[in-house]
Amino acid sequence: MTTEFPALSLILILPLLGVLFNLFAGARLGRTAVNIVGPGVIFAAFAVAIWTMLQLCSMPPGSALVFTFWQWITAGAFHVDLAVRIDALSAVMLLIVTGVGSFIHLYSVGYMAHDEDFARYFAYMNLFMLSMLVLVLADNLLMMFVGWEGVGLCSYLLIAFWYTNPEFAYNGRKAFIANRVGDAGFVLGILTLVWTFSTHGVWTLTFAGMQAHAGLLGVSATIAGLLLFLGATGKSAQIPLYVWLPDAMVGPTPVSALIHAATMVTAGVYMVVRLNFLYSLSPPAMEVIAVIAAVTSFFAATVAIVQPDIKRVLAYSTISQIGYMFLGAGVGAFASGIFHVMTHAFFKGLLFLCSGSVIHALHGEQDMNRMGGLWRKLPITYGTMLIATLAISAFPGFSGYFSKDLILESAYTSGHFWLWLLGVITAGLTSLYMFRLIFMTFHGPSRVDPEKAPHIHESPLVMTIPLMVLAVFALGGGWIGLPDGFLWGNIFVRFLQPITGVFHPTIEASAITLSIIASTAGIAGIVIAWVLYIAVPGLPGAIQTGAGKFYRVLLGKYYIDEFYDRFITRPLFWISGTALNKGVDQNGIDGAVNGTAIEVESLSQAVRKLESGNVQHYVFAYLIGALAVAAYYIYLVAR
Amino acid sequence: MTAPISYVLILAAAIFAIGVAGVLMRRNAIVMLMSIELMLNAVNLTFVGLSRRLGSVDGQVIVFFVMTVAAAEAAVGLAIIISAFRNRESVNVDEFNLMRW
C-alpha cells in the first residue's frame, strides 16, 4: 500500500531552512540564534521522522509513504522525479540519521562554544543532514546519487573546517578525491543499469521500478553491482579506498561522530541493502562484498591495536565495524547489516562524542600516551564511554552483541566458514583495542601534561546530555533484535523483511554455540587488554621491542598510504606532469600553435625587405605592373 | 595643313617616356614633380590630338580637368616638398625613408 504523505517534505525543508539561516543570517544574529536554530531544525525533523514512523507502523507491512516534489528530468520515455519514499528500510535509516544527528548537533553547541566560526559550522552540519536525508529518502537511484555527492561535499567541507591548517586542508582534499574514485564507479553503475533496462524498452531508475524489472538485468546485475560497490568502498571506507577515513579525523570531533561514524560512512551499506534485489541476482558480486568486508574488518582492527591517537583508533574501528555490516549484507542477511548500522550509530557516535569530551577537557590533546587516570575527573564521560566500549566489544546484553552476533551467525550458516572465523578473531581484536583505549585513557597513572592537569574538568551539560541519551541506546538499543524465539524475538528484522527479504540459512548450526564462541573471543580480548595495560604495565613495551618489525608495520598502517603514494599518486603526477603537461600540452599543442606563429614570422621577415621606403622603388614596381596590364590587353587585341 | 595623328602620338609617347625616366631616375623631388607634369601634359597632348582627329570636343573637356588636377597636385606637392625641406634641408628623396620597416 502506497500513500501520499505531504509531511515528508518537511523532513527535507527543515534542514534546508537551517542551512539558509545559518549561511546568510547566522553570523550577523550571533551565537545564541545559531545555537537555537542549528540543532532546532534537526530536532524538528526528528519529530517529523517519529511521526512518519508511527504513521508507517499503523499501516500493513510492506507499505510505503511517498511524496513527489516535482518532475526533475523528462526526456522522452525516461523521467526522473524529485520524490521521496519511506518504507521500512528508509524509515529505520531516517530515525537513525535524524535521532543521532539531532543529539550530535546539541553536543556541537558545547563543543564549538569557543570557536569563532560557529555559523559556518552549523550551516555545513545542516547541509550535511539535508544531503544525508536526500540520500536516505530518495525514491530513485539518481536522486540518491545527489545526496551521495552532497554528503561527500559536506564531509570535505567539515574535515577541512579549520582550513587555515594546511595539513587539515590536505586531508579534506584526500577524502574528497578518494570519494571521487568511488563515485566514478557509482555513476558507471547507474549508466549500466539505465543502458541495460533501456535495451529492453524499460526506462526507470526508481527502486520500485527497477525491482519490478530486475529479471531483465542478467549479467549486468554483476557489473552494475560491482561498480556500485566500488562507490560504496569509497563512501564507506572499505579496501581499497578506505585511506581517507583515518585522516578525516582532523575535523571537529562531533563531525567525526556524525559523518564518519554514525551516518555518512554507512551510506554504502544502506545503498547495498536498498538494492538487495539487484545483489541477490548476482552471487559473484555478493561474494566479493563479503570477502572484502571481512578482510577490511580484520585488517583495520589489527591497525587499531597499536595507534596512539585516540580518534585514529576509533577511525580504524569504524572501518572495521563497517566491514561487519558489509559482511552481513554480503552473505545475504541484509537486515543484519542494517541492524549493525543502527547499533553502530549509537555506540560509535557515543564513542566519538566521549573522545571529544576527553579532548575538550585536555584542550586538544589526542595522544593516549599523554592521558591516563582520567576516570575520577570525567565521571560521566568515563561511564558512558565504558558502556559504548562494552557495546562495541559485543559484551552480552549490550546493543552491539545482538547485531554482531546476528551477522556472524548469518556468515556461518550461509556457509562462509573462513569469513566467520575472521569475524570472530576480529571480534576479539575489537575488544582488545577498545579496552586498550579505555585503560590508557581513563585508568593507570596520569601521564597528562602537568600544565594541563589542573584545568581538567567534566564537560558542560549540553555535551553530557547527548552522551547519556546515546548511552541509553547503546546499552538497550539491541533489545529490539533478540534472537527469534526468545521473548519478543527479532522485531527489527521482521519489520525490514518486506524490503530485505528473508535470510535462508544453508547450514544448520546452534545459534547458542556460535554466540558463545564469539562472546568468548570478545571477553578474551578484554582480559588480554587488562593484562597488558593494567596488570603488567611493562608488557606492551616488551612486546613492541620483541616484535619490532611487526609492530612497526602495524604502526605504519601496513604502509598502504606509502604504497598508494609510490604506485598511484606519483605515477599519476608523472603522467599528468611530465607526459601530458610537458609532452602533449607544451610540446604538442603549444608547439603546433607557436610553430605556426614562428613560421609566419620568418616568412614576414623575408617579405618585409621589399618595403624599402624609397618612393622610386615603388614607382618602378608600379610601372612594371602597369606595363604588364597594358601588355596583356595588347596581347588580347593582337590575338 | 594638319600634322598626321601618328606624329602627335609619337611625340606624346616620347614626352611620357621622358617623364617616366625622370621620375624613376632623378633624386631631386622637384625634378620628379616636374617629370610628373611632363607625363600629364603628354596625356593631354594625346587627348587634344585625338579630339581633333575624331572631330569631338570630349577629349578637350577632359584636358581641362587634367590641367585642374595637375595644378592642384603641383600646389600640394610643392607644399609637401617645402615642409620636407624645412625638416631635412634637402629635397633628395633618398633621404625620406621613414616609411619602411
Chain A hits for B94, CB-CB cut-off 8 Å, are: 614
pLDDT for position B27: 87
pLDDT for position B101: 56
Residue A624 Cα, gap to closest chain B Cα (Å) = 12
Q: Which residue of A has its CA nearest to B23?
A: A616
**Residue A63 Cα distances to A88, A211, A320, angstroms:** 8, 15, 34
Domain locations in chain A? 2-555, 562-638
Q: Does B31 touch chain A (CB under 8 A)?
A: no
Q: Does B18 touch chain A (CB under 8 A)?
A: no
CATH class of this structure's domain B5-92 = mainly alpha
Q: Does A604 touch chain B (CB under 8 A)?
A: no
Q: What is the DSSP string of A182-219?
A: HHHHHHHHHHHHHHHHHHTT----BHHHHHHTGGG-TT
Q: Cell numbers at residue A396, please?
A: 552480552
Average pLDDT value over all residues in chain A: 90
Chain A hits for B99, CB-CB cut-off 8 Å, are: 613
Residue B54 Cα, gap to closest chain A Cα (Å) = 21
Backbone angles phi, psi at A343, to 5 degrees: -65, -35
With 90 as the cut, is the pLDDT of residue A101 above it? yes
Q: Cell numbers at residue A224, please?
A: 552494475
User: Mind listing the pLDDT tens digit for each residue in A206-241?
Assistant: 998 899 898 888 888 999 999 999 999 999 999 889
pLDDT for position A147: 94
ipTM given for this complex = 0.82
Q: How far apart are CA A356 and CA B71, in angstroms?
A: 102
User: Please, what's the b/e burial string for A298-308 (b: 16 or more CB within 10 A of its CB; e: otherwise)?
Assistant: bbbbbbbbbbe
With 80 as the cut, is the pLDDT of residue B98 above it? no
Chain B hits for A604, CB-CB cut-off 8 Å, are: none
User: Mind listing the pLDDT tens digit for each residue in B85-95?
Assistant: 898 888 888 88
Confidence of residue B40 (pLDDT cuts 50, 70, 90): very high
* Average pLDDT, integer, range A115-125: 91
Q: State how far Cα A78 lies from the chain centre.
A: 30
Closest to A232 measured CA to CA, from A241, A222, A221, A245: A241
* Average pLDDT, integer, range A321-343: 94
What whole-number percentage of chain A has pLDDT above 90? 59
Backbone angles phi, psi at B28, to 5 degrees: -75, 125
Closest to A101 measured CA to CA, from A33, A31, A18: A18
* Average pLDDT, integer, range A172-180: 92
Chain B hits for A623, CB-CB cut-off 8 Å, are: 20, 24
Q: How far apart are CA A304 and CA A558, in angstroms?
A: 11
pLDDT for position A609: 80
Q: Chain B, 80-99: which have a CB under 8 Å from a chain A CB?
A: 93-94, 96-99
pLDDT for position B1: 56
Listed range (A291-300, A462-471, A478-487) with the worst mean pLDDT: A478-487
Confidence of residue A447 (pLDDT cuts 50, 70, 90): confident
Alpha helices in A362-415 (DSSP H): 379-392, 399-413
pLDDT for position A471: 94
Chain B hits for A619, CB-CB cut-off 8 Å, are: 23-24
With 80 as the cut, is the pLDDT of residue B2 above it? no
Residue A595 Cα, gap to closest chain B Cα (Å) = 23
Alpha helices in B1-101 (DSSP H): 5-25, 29-54, 58-88
Residue B1 Cα, gap to closest chain A Cα (Å) = 32
User: Mind listing the pLDDT tens digit for each residue in A546-581?
Assistant: 777 888 888 888 888 888 888 888 998 888 888 888
Q: Does A601 touch chain B (CB under 8 A)?
A: no
Q: Does B1 touch chain A (CB under 8 A)?
A: no
Domain locations in chain B? 5-92
H-run or E-run covering A154:
helix A141-159
Q: Does A605 touch chain B (CB under 8 A)?
A: no
Are residues A49 and A137 in contact, defined by beta-carbon separation less than 8 angstroms? no
pLDDT for position B39: 94
pLDDT for position B99: 67
